[in-house]
Amino acid sequence: MRVIISNHAALRLQDSRQAGITALDLLRAASQIPGKVPAATRFRGYSAMSGRQFDFVIKDISSGRLVITVIGK
């Protein structure tokens, strides 16, 4: 499945609260979720390769899986 990172999520990755979380971490985590996500849903408790914990919000759209935002812990 194609994973698309929104502009908002890309900007959030540059914030200090999300330090250590990369776009590759988001792509890996979003592609691990099975099934369809028809409404925006928050998924909790994922780890970046740096060890940083994060949550993210995704939704399936016609062109793939959209990562709406990321929340660093």
> pTM, whole model, 2 decimals?
0.89
Q: Are 69 and 12 in contact (CB under 8 A)?
A: yes
- CATH number at 35 reads 3.30.2310
Is residue 26 helix, strand or coil?
A: helix
CA dist 51 and 34 (Å) reads 23
Domain that residue 50 falls in: 3-72
Run means of pLDDT, 10 residues per run, the chain, 73 residues: 94 93 95 95 96 96 96 91
Tally of domains in the chain: 1
